[in-house]
Structure 1
Amino acid sequence: MADRRCTHCPGSHTGERPCLASATTKARSWLLIEHPGPWAERIEDTDLPEPVAEALARAARHGVRAQFIRVPGRRRATPPLWVYTGFSGDTAPDGRPVTPWLEGRELADPAELAGLDLASVAAGRAPGFGPPVADPLLLVCAHGRRNACCARTGAPLARALGERFGDQVWETTHVGGDRYAANLVCLPHGLYYGDLDEQGAVAAARAYHRGEVTLDRYRGRAGLPEPVQAAEHFVREHTGIVAVADVTVESMIADTAVVRAGLARYRVRVERVDPGACGPGCSENLATYVKREVALLNGAALV
């Protein structure tokens, strides 16, 4: 296997580079399928039973993000296999308000995946494929074929979290942002964290159990454009509001957002900045965002 570490990128995996506003922008609906591995660099290239391959193809057609998951620290034979679906957005594609949800069940036969209505999942509607999942799912990227650092840092982190949070924790395939390994995704809300050590990951997981985010190493929320993630981050940083549901970006036009935070509304102006190339052969997107203004909409400047 080729060594795909990002060691040529200064600050990779060290916390030196800012990771805000870097959550994947294309994932609001999710399909998680237990697969013990080995995982190919692209999950669709993995040697798969036909029902699993067909489910991945349907997920791709409907725009549902598919991830393989496995128990940290061991390779449980499948079937039976756990399958989860979920939606992490606050609004459905048709504009309906949605409360993020998860449901899942253990399948005795992968052929049962044929009954999963992925069109409903993509639309933000729970398909009733399994019972609702009350506890969060904590996904740690450990996809070594994609990036060696994800296995080197992610696998031990998943084991450590598993000792504290039990079967809520899964190793998973590529979640985006390899240079931020170790990466954690908290579902159903799709909260991304990066550059984590065990202490930071435990703090993020405990905060999520309380319905909160912790801004330290918070990458953003999946499914939102990067400028929107940045506006949310800067308002949380300014106000100290950490409840997941208490900060919402109501609109974003060019570089300016209107953000509701608690009972107040703010105008937030952000700017995308590019620190430049990180080294020969590096194709990573290293751009980030800086705050230009945070002001109450009644006109009182709070920068």
Structure 2
Amino acid sequence: MARGCEHPAGCHTGEVPTLASATVGARLWLLIEYTGAWPSRLETLELPGKISELVRRALERGIRPQLIRRPGRRTRPQEQGIRVLVGYAAGPNPWLASGVVAGPDDLDLDALVAGVVPESCILEDEPVFLVCTHAKRNVCCARIGLPLARSLAENLPDRVWETSHVGGDRYAANLVCLPHGIFYGSMSQAAALAAANAYRSGEVILDRYRGRAGIPEPLQAVEHFARAHTGECSVGAVAVESSRTDGDVTEAIVRIGDVRLQVVVEPSAFTAPCGTASACAETITTYRLVSLDRLTPVRYATPALA
């Protein structure tokens, strides 16, 4: 049974902070086109045999499975096989590849784990955008996500997919940009198009930016505050050189070009009003900046001439 929209109204308008909320366990992706009914949870394997087996094999290997379908289409001509996309979102050189396979045995998921394109797939040269529309998981994802997906697809034909749950129902509508695994939340149609166009240009927009998937939440927060301080928007320009955690406090050294920053963050509670006359409210864990300092570059003395 689909869950109602139990989160405060402000969660879907950008009033609730979205930073450092991208799904941590999503460095490897398997997208499976399936236009049939989506179960509320993929791990229950309540899907046709071949689809269920693909999901099972992905879960066994730490790969995040997602069901996908084209916006506005619930049925389409049956292909001779299953359309899949595989994504390697780890590190500085992520990639995305696609193919049509007859069944699970024709897709080498161990290659994906090793960072290699499976033989049955070919590399994609354009990014792909996922919009969560998983009504059986949360009705808000469908109510807000469906029109957004259709609108975005009109501007970016063949690059947009509806998808099953990506994590973070309170941030519906959710947008994921692959191959990097960039997450945005609480998106309007205009905000989604701006974020997608920025990503196609190799940039991120900090407004409603949830972070990059596969990275611990404190380091997502570190990246966010480093970008906000420097104005750096290039997708791959921020690198965490080192980090350490002491209790709830995380300290990291971040490099942005020739600049090195010491960034310290800690969890912070945000209480969102429910938007009604009742006393209900939801407390959301986010992050606050404790300190940010620019480090002096190390300078080496020039040896004296003999």
TM-score scaled to structure 1, two decimals?
A: 0.89
TM-aligned CA deviation for residue 285 of structure 1: 7.5
Amino acid of the structure 2 residue aligned with 1:103: A
* Distance 1:14-1:123 versus aligned 2 partners, 3 A rule: same
Select the residue among 91, 113, 122 that pairs with 1:122.
113
Number of the residue aligned with 1:100 = 94
Q: Matches of 1:30 and 1:2 in 2, distance apart?
A: 25
C-alpha separation between the residues in 2 aligned to 1:283 and 1:67?
Answer: 31
Match of 2:302 in 1: none
On the 8 A contact 2:30/2:64 being kept in 1, the answer is yes
Q: Distance in 1 between matches of 2:88 and 2:251?
A: 27
Unpaired runs of 5+ in structure 2? 298-306
The residue number in structure 2 matching 1:268 is 263
Structure 1 spans left out of the alignment, 5+ residues: 91-97
Residue of structure 2 in register with 1:226 after alignment: 217
Q: What secondary structure sits across from 1:11 in the alignment?
A: helix
In the alignment, what sits opposite 1:53? 52
Q: 2: distance between equivalents of 1:277 and 1:165?
A: 34
Structure 1 residues 97-153: Cα deviation after superposition (integer angstroms, max 9, x where no partner): x6101110134x3x2x31212122123222232110010000000000000000000
Shift of 1:278: 6.9
Matched, 1:31 2:40: no
Which residue is 1:190 aligned to?
Answer: 181
The 8 Å contact of residues 271 and 282 in structure 2, kept in 1 or not, is answered as: no
Provide the C-alpha distance between the structure 1 equivalents of 2:79 and 2:129, rounded to a whole number of angstroms: 22
Counterpart Cα distance in 1 of 2:154 and 2:193: 11
1:276 Cα deviation after fit: 5.4
How many residue pairs were aligned? 287
**1:26 and 1:173, CA in 2 relative to 1: closer, same or farther beyond 3 A?**
same
Aligned with 1:205 (options 196, 202, 208): 196
Structure 1 residue 46: Cα displacement: 5.8
- Corresponding residue of 1:95: none
- Residue 10 of structure 2 aligns to a residue whose secondary structure is coil
Task: State the shift of 1:277 in Å.
Answer: 8.5
TM-score normalised by the chain length of structure 2 = 0.88
Please list, as runs of the form range in 1=range in 2, the aligned pairs for 1:69-108 lying within 5 A after superposition.
69-77=68-76, 78-80=78-80, 81-90=82-91, 99-107=93-101
Contact 1:138/1:170 (8 A) holds in 2: yes
Show CA shifts across 1:209-256 (max 9, x none).
Answer: 000001110000000000000000001111011001111112221110
Say if 1:284 and 1:75 are closer, same or farther in 2 by CA, change over 3 A: farther
2-side partners of 1:83 and 1:285: how far apart? 38
Spell out, residue by residue over 1:5-61, the C-alpha distance to the aligned partner (whole angstroms, 9 max, x if none): 134x35221211100000000000000000013111012446433222111111111
Please give the secondary structure, in 1, of the residue aligned with 2:65. Answer: strand
Report the aligned-residue RMSD.
Answer: 2.1
2:233 matched residue in structure 1: 242
1:155 and 2:156 matched = no
Give the secondary-structure state (helix, strand or coil) at the position aligned to 1:19: coil
Report the counterpart of residue 12 of structure 1 in structure 2: 11
- Matched residues in 2 for 1:135 and 1:75: separation? 24
For residues 144-168 of structure 1, give each alpha carbon's deviation from its aligned partner in whole angstroms, at most 9, with x where no partner exists: 0000000000011000000000111
Q: Radius of gyration: which is bigger?
A: 2
Deviation of 1:75 (Å): 1.6
C-alpha displacement at 1:4, in angstroms? Answer: 2.4
Q: Compared with structure 1, are the counterparts of its residues 131 and 242 closer, same or farther at alpha carbon in structure 2 (3 Å cutoff)?
A: same
1:283 CA displacement: 12
Q: 1:38 to 1:232 in 2, by over 3 A?
A: same
Cα distance in 2 between the residues matched to 1:115 and 1:170 = 23
**Worse overlay, 22-31 or 118-127:** 118-127
Partner of 1:93: none
